Amino acid sequence: MSYRLILLFNIVLLLLLMPAYGLADDCGLKIITERSYPSTIMNKEQLTGFGVEIVEALKKEIGCDAEIEVMPWARGYRYLENHPDVMLFSTARTKEREDKFYWVGPIACYKWVFYGLKGLRGKVKSLEDAKKVSGIGVYRNDARAQFLKSQGFTNLEVMISQEQNFKKLMRGRIELVATSNIGVDGFLDSNEELRKLAVPVFTFRNVKLFLAFSKSTSMQTVQRWEDAFEALQVRGVIGNIQDKWIQRCKEE
CATH number at residue 119: 3.40.190.10
How many distinct structural domains can be found in the chain? 2
For residue 251, the model assigns a pLDDT of: 65
For residue 41, the model assigns a pLDDT of: 94
| Domain assignment present for 3 | no
For residue 16, the model assigns a pLDDT of: 44
User: How far apart are the C-alpha atoms of 96 and 100, rounded to whole Å?
Assistant: 8
Domain of residue 222 covers 24-109+208-245
Q: Pairing mode, if any, of strands 41-43 and 86-92?
A: unpaired
Q: Are residues 202 and 212 in the same domain?
A: no
For residue 161, the model assigns a pLDDT of: 87
User: How far apart are the C-alpha atoms of 91 and 11, rounded to whole Å?
Assistant: 46
Q: In one letter, which amino acid is 239?
A: G
User: How far apart are the C-alpha atoms of 39 and 17, rounded to whole Å?
Assistant: 38
For residue 11, the model assigns a pLDDT of: 47
| Domain assignment present for 16 | no
Q: Are residues 186 and 64 in the same domain?
A: no
CB 50 within 8 A of CB 108: yes
| Domain assignment present for 5 | no
pLDDT (tens place) for every residue of the chain, 252 residues total: 555 555 445 544 444 444 333 334 668 899 999 999 999 999 888 999 999 999 999 999 999 999 999 999 999 999 999 999 999 999 999 998 999 999 999 999 999 999 999 989 889 999 999 999 999 999 988 999 999 999 999 999 999 888 899 999 999 999 999 999 998 988 888 888 898 999 999 999 999 999 999 999 999 999 999 999 999 999 999 999 999 999 888 765
For residue 17, the model assigns a pLDDT of: 42
pTM of the model: 0.83
Q: Are residues 105 and 213 in the same domain?
A: yes
Q: Pairing mode, if any, of strands 176-180 and 136-139?
A: parallel
- Give the strand order in the sheet containing 136-139: 68-70, 30-33, 86-92, 198-214, 101-117, 176-180, 136-139, 156-159
| Domain assignment present for 177 | yes
User: How far apart are the C-alpha atoms of 31 and 186, rounded to whole Å?
Assistant: 23
Q: In one letter, which amino acid is 202?
A: F
Q: Are residues 120 and 169 in the same domain?
A: yes
Bridge partners of 188, per DSSP, are none
Write the CB contacts of 249 (distance below 8 Å, at least 6 apart in sequence): 106, 108, 109, 208, 242
88 torsion bin: left (phi>0), alpha (psi -120 to 50), beta (else): beta
